Copies of this chain bind each other. A is one copy, B any other.
Amino acid sequence: MLTTRTDCLARDAADPLAPLREQFDLPAGVIYLDGNSLGARPKAALARAAHVIAHEWGKDLITSWNTAGWFDLPKRLGDKLAPLVGARPGEVVVTDTTSVNLFKALAGALSLQGEQPARKVIVTERSNFPTDIYMAEGLSSWLDRGYQVRLVDSPDDIAAALGDDTAVLMLTHVNYRTGYQHDMAAVTALAHEHGAVTVWDLAHSAGAVPVDLNGANADFAVGCTYKYLNGGPGAPAFIWVPQRHHAQFRQPLSGWWGHAAPFAMAPAFAPTDGIGRALCGTQPVVSLALVECGLDVFAQTTMAAVREKSLALTDLFIALVEQRCADHPLGLVTPREHARRGSQVSFTHPHGYAVMQALIARGVIGDYREPAIMRFGFTPLYTSFADVWDAVEVLKQILDDEAYDVAAARGAVT
């Protein structure tokens, strides 16, 4: 029995998350399937920014570091984010960028070996988001102790790549191109069996899929707040370290925000207890404060409800594309198996770049990733079942009419 647009409207009417869409500002005439790259704007963000700028900065000036709680923002927002990723209070800080936090997390993972590290290899996937690999390369080549990065070509190759030489298994939980989701608990257990420590990048997981870092007995994690968490463009990232590693881990970006007594102004560094030692320097308060607006929307639902709708949306998108665009050379890249799927769907097409540009021109915003991959993100807080229908309808029209310009020059790809 084929799905109709009327069916989609009925599912929207029955969707318990549908009212949350009202809390986001989305332009008219746009179907936004790129929340996996930059989340939509919570309406509350505008008033929050105005308050921080006009009142906290403009009127209260320097006193706002204390009175408005600016100093505590990284930890307070971290505690608010914690339930979304299976973290305890006091285990997460929102700070710096994902890349910088990954550097800290990798260094922290290496530091658990103590002064005489016997294990020198960081294992990761060749298909990982490149900056993760770059940061691992940067850290390992600089440390000059024979550290190296070992790349594997497929999730199936991870087990064989782990050995007595492996210090860290660094993985992105949900792959940015394919939407493949690792089994965090099983892979972490595998790493631990080989004596390795895990570092998980949750850029495409936090707010997208249920994550249980402590349940999986993971070791370190970092993530992004500007994608599914809707924190705003380039909003500060987060880093998680479980309590069991707090006393032991060290990281070289040892700035004053990670000091036990930052205002004592002592010339020797002494790391603070707990997650605070993952902090470094003064944070961009306006951007940081806006992260809370996105988290406040998540506080009104559960990741279980988000996941249920996410799978319904991605199942529907896959089914409709395969039904309605069956005559076209589209290849599903994202796993059909629910447990292995994130909250995006990627299809290849020989002219994927041109087709995506045509979609964007008609108001269906996805994005493109080499090679030939059209990427569609599904964000249950503000994407409807009717959006899915309408997006596939536009895709079908473009493909049926060959209404895309293969010769068009490629601009910068975001």
A369 at interface, CB cutoff 8 A: yes
CB distance from A47 to the nearest CB of B (A): 10
A66 touching B27 in the complex, CB below 8 Å, given contacts A41-B58, A130-B259, A256-B130: no
How far, in Å, is A160 (CB) from chain B's closest CB? 19
Instruction: Give the B-binding residues of A (Cβ under 8 A).
Output: 25, 27, 30, 32, 34, 37-38, 40-41, 45-46, 49-50, 52-54, 56-59, 61-66, 70-71, 96-100, 103, 107, 126, 128, 130-131, 133-135, 137-139, 141-145, 151, 226, 232-237, 251-257, 259, 262-269, 280-288, 290, 360, 365, 367, 369-370, 411-414
Q: In the complex, what residue of chain B is closest to A95 when comparing beta carbons?
A: B97
- Contact with A34, one of B38, B61, B134 (Cβ below 8 angstroms): B61
Structural contact, B135 and A233, CB atoms closer than 8 A: no
Complex-state Cα separation, A27 to B253, whole angstroms? 37
Min distance, Cβ A237 to any Cβ of chain B, angstroms: 8
Q: Output the least CB separation between A410 and chain B (Å).
A: 10
Query: Known contacts A99-B281, A282-B226; is A57 also within 8 Å of B126 by CB?
Result: no
A–B Cβ pairs within 8 angstroms, 14 of them: A34-B62, A38-B65, A49-B286, A65-B233, A65-B414, A97-B255, A98-B281, A130-B256, A130-B259, A138-B253, A141-B252, A142-B143, A233-B286, A265-B369
Question: Within the oligomer, what is the number of copies of this chain?
Answer: 2
Residue in B45, B70, B97, B232 whose CB lies within 8 Å of A280 = B97
Q: How far is the CB of A348 from chain B (nearest CB, A)?
A: 15
Instruction: A99-B255, A233-B285 given; name 11 further pairs at CB < 8 Å.
Output: A46-B50, A46-B58, A49-B53, A50-B50, A97-B255, A98-B281, A99-B282, A131-B259, A143-B144, A284-B287, A287-B287
Residues of B with C-beta under 8 A to A234? 70, 282-285, 288
Judge whether A131 and B256 touch: CB under 8 Å. yes
A226 cross-chain contacts in B, Cβ below 8 A: 282
Select which of B57, B268, B281 is within 8 A of A232 by beta carbon: B57
In the complex, chain B residues whose CB is within 8 Å of the CB of A284: 232-236, 284, 286-288
Chain B residue contacts of A142, Cβ below 8 A: 107, 143, 252
Q: Among A40, A41, A370, which residue has the most Cβ atoms of chain B within 10 A?
A: A41
Q: Across the interface, do B46 and A61 meet the contact criterion of CB distance under 8 Å? A: no
Question: Which B residues touch A281, using CB under 8 A?
Answer: 97-100, 131, 237
Residues of chain B within 8 A of A264, CB atoms compared = 370
Residue of B nearest to A230 (CB): B57
The chain B residue sitting closest to A60, CB to CB, is B27
**Nearest B residue (CB) for A63:** B414
Q: Are A53 and B232 in contact (CB under 8 A)?
A: yes
Tell me, rounded to whole Å, the shortest Cβ–Cβ distance linking A340 to chain B: 22
- Are B288 and A253 in contact, CB atoms less than 8 angstroms apart? no
Pair A99/B256 contact, Cβ less than 8 Å? yes
**Within 8 Å CB of A135, what residues of B?**
253-255
Q: Which of B49, B257, B412 is within 8 Å of A49, CB to CB?
A: B49
Cα A414 to Cα B63 in complex, Å, equals 7
Contacts of A50 in B (CB 8 A): 46, 49-50
Least Cβ–Cβ distance between A360 and chain B, in angstroms: 8
Could you say which residues of chain B place their CB within 8 Å of the CB of A265?
A: 130, 369-370
Question: A130 with B45: in contact, given A99-B280, A143-B142, A233-B64 (CB under 8 Å)?
Answer: no
Tell me which of B37, B63, B96, B144 contacts A62 (CB under 8 A): B37
